[in-house]
Amino acid sequence: MQKLTLVKIGGTIVDDAIALKEFLALYTQLASPKILVHGGGKIATELAKDLAIPTEMIQGRRITSSAMLPVTVMVYAGLINKQIVAQLQQKNCDAIGLSGADAQLIVSHKRPVQNIDYGFVGDFEPKDVNTTRLRQLIDLGLCPVLSAITADNEGQLLNTNADTIASNLAVALASLYQVELVYCFEKKGVLYDVKDENTVIPTINPTNFKALKKEGVIAAGMLPKIENALAAVEQEVSKVCIKQAESLLDETAGTVIRL
């Protein structure tokens, strides 16, 4: 089975022009096929502030109001996505920028209101991924670059957690490829002490995840990331790793998520 590397980059890389440029230089060196999923960073928050639109985050997840939705779409699927695609093209990586709405790659649904109303936020399952279209793009020699925007069957655009997109894409494609999922961010891996880069937790599994969560070692934005990673390895994704962007090509770096 052919190997496919699916890489997700976080907002801190997107926010830093130099870090993003350096990361993309490494990314182009990965063997094809490969897919890149990116988050949104601070640009949407800054633009919303300029437009006097309040920003609210709960447990690392953005509340997307009717006023905030157009901002996230413009920034994630527009500005950031095309900046990344343009830089990859400049490095001779034939990238194509997409959202979940394009070619109906991802059909999501608005998150039901339970304890929290997240607004125009989309959820979906691996079965909702159009793997046929993705494989056709890959077979054409293209490198899909996906933003964190999806759409439902009614044509409603929805802001969707980029970690979830990466995880569900990996699971959906696991029947077609040997998928390796890599989450890249600014730290060397998942740290036991966030102030000490030398405390990388080499392996996380369901057992020690519960303990680390209880201790508060894994919290806020890292919590959904690990939950998605564990879900992926439980569903045939061959490997999930969380590492520093600078270590993308180092197979020994970072925190490996396994059962």
| Mean pLDDT on 187-209 | 92
Provide the pLDDT confidence category of residue 245 given band limits of 50, 70 and 90: very high
Q: Is pLDDT above 70 for 42?
A: yes
Put residue 23 in one of left, alpha, beta given phi > 0 → left and psi -120 to 50 → alpha.
Answer: alpha
Provide the pLDDT confidence category of residue 186 given band limits of 50, 70 and 90: confident
Which tokens go with 68? 């905030």
User: Could you tell me which residues are beta bridge partners of residue 157?
Assistant: 151
d(CA 228, CA 149): 18
Q: Is pLDDT above 80 for 243?
A: yes
Q: Which pLDDT does position 149 carry in this prediction?
A: 98
Counting Cα atoms < 13 Å in the Cβ hemisphere of 49 gives 6
Instruction: Please check whether residue 91 is in contact with residue 145, taking contact to mean a CB–CB distance below 8 angstroms.
Output: no
Q: Which pLDDT does position 60 carry in this prediction?
A: 64
Pick from 66, 37, 69: nearest CA to 232: 37
Provide the pLDDT confidence category of residue 117 given band limits of 50, 70 and 90: very high
pLDDT tens-digit profile of 45-81? 999 999 999 888 886 677 999 999 999 999 999 999 9
Q: Which pLDDT does position 194 carry in this prediction?
A: 86
Q: Which of 50-59, 102-111, 211-220 shows the highest mean pLDDT?
A: 102-111
Q: Which pLDDT does position 220 carry in this prediction?
A: 78
d(CA 90, CA 103): 25
Q: What percent of the chain has pLDDT over 90?
A: 81
Instruction: Please check whether residue 256 is in contact with residue 226, taking contact to mean a CB–CB distance below 8 angstroms.
Output: no
58, exposed or middle or buried, with CB in 10 Å at 0-12, 13-18, 19+?
exposed
